[in-house]
Structure 1
């Protein structure tokens, strides 16, 4: 079985989303030892920022007129779409940055869409675990309710466009203990971390035996 894992954090070893993905992967591979994990860390090795535009322009350009940039971008887009298509499940660790999806993850999603066929459900019915983290709190009644422009977008792409069987795991208040202004929420943050970790372990174990 091949599992595609995508990380997009820029936080390195301090990443809360990577921590969750590590728990999912560890439980998954322990439950199914023969699993092959294909990894892309978009935060550590970003995709070229101009590749999507080149792929789109190249797709509308006759092949004999395409530039080297067109060919390179189309090849990259096809490879990324193929990785998703060929996987039997995916683990996506995609944190919220600046109230939306990270630029690294957006570049990957755009290129995958450019590399797939029009309307193709690249994950049709396959399990996808999306792990998303937020430094603050955005739930009902909070001062920034409605400011999360990341999570619904990921639902639309992964479940509605790509057709995956989506499991979404969220963790908020990851900046508690980092930002002194959030010190009053230490107990709440600790509970959120515990809940998210338990959900990640359960998801890895459950989906591995499907």
Structure 2
């Protein structure tokens, strides 16, 4: 049985959220291919993980036998998140752009699972695990656009997921999601719709591609 770790972080609920709508398409396609599989789901907006504290951080660099009760309790919460990442065969993350960066709840999750000498460092414990990130954004920050310099999501997540954690990273990037809501962007609605449709197709395609990859490994 394969395990998918699915994380959403948009503050918007259900289909109102572009990132949630697209991760949902990926997850459904994944479950069709893996009806007996396991999905570990975390909604970081509805149930945020604790921001990392001094006790939780220092416990990661302290031998278990030498930890204070406070450190042990704080690290137990971190270890659960770390183990979910390590045990996953694939990871799916909704990471909408909030004020040019990722949601603070997703950053809190990353701070908890990022542990030098275990998940990060010379031999990351989840190295090679495929991670698909749906990085939706209200405008366009693609190369050549006026706001290209305000793109702090893709480059940051690439540095963390690929560079530090050693994960096999893919992005799905639906753009212009504010066009239907902002009258000043009304002329961009067709581009938004095309980007959204392309994102849905990519989500379903990537899920099926991953399923085929796992099937080939077990054949």
- Residue 61 of structure 1 deviates from its aligned partner by 5.9
Moved beyond 6 Å, runs of 4+: none
- Secondary structure of the 1:202 match is helix
Greater strand share, 1 or 2?
Answer: 1
State the TM-score, normalizing by the size of structure 1.
Answer: 0.91
Does residue 180 (structure 1) correspond to residue 189 (structure 2)? The answer is no
- Residue 173 of structure 1 deviates from its aligned partner by 0.5
State the TM-score, normalizing by the size of structure 2.
Answer: 0.88
* 2:216 match: none
How many aligned residue pairs are there? 208
Change (3 A) 1:57 1:169: same
Query: Larger relative CO (CA 8 A, sep 6+): 1 or 2?
Result: 1
- Distance in 2 (CA, whole Å) between partners of 1:61 and 1:33 is 41
- Residue 141 of structure 1 deviates from its aligned partner by 3.0
- Distance in 2 (CA, whole Å) between partners of 1:108 and 1:138 is 25
Q: Deviations over 1:12-69 (max 9, x none)?
A: 12111111111111111112211110011111111123x343311334567556243x
- Distance in 1 (CA, whole Å) between partners of 2:171 and 2:98 is 17
- Distance in 2 (CA, whole Å) between partners of 1:97 and 1:149 is 10
Give the aligned CA root-mean-square deviation in angstroms: 1.8
- Distance in 2 (CA, whole Å) between partners of 1:200 and 1:55 is 35
Which among 39, 42, 58 is matched to residue 40 of structure 1?
Answer: 42
* 1:146 match: 149
- Distance in 1 (CA, whole Å) between partners of 2:206 and 2:93 is 13
- Secondary structure of the 2:115 match is helix
Gaps of 5+ in 1: none
Gaps of 5+ in 2: 214-219
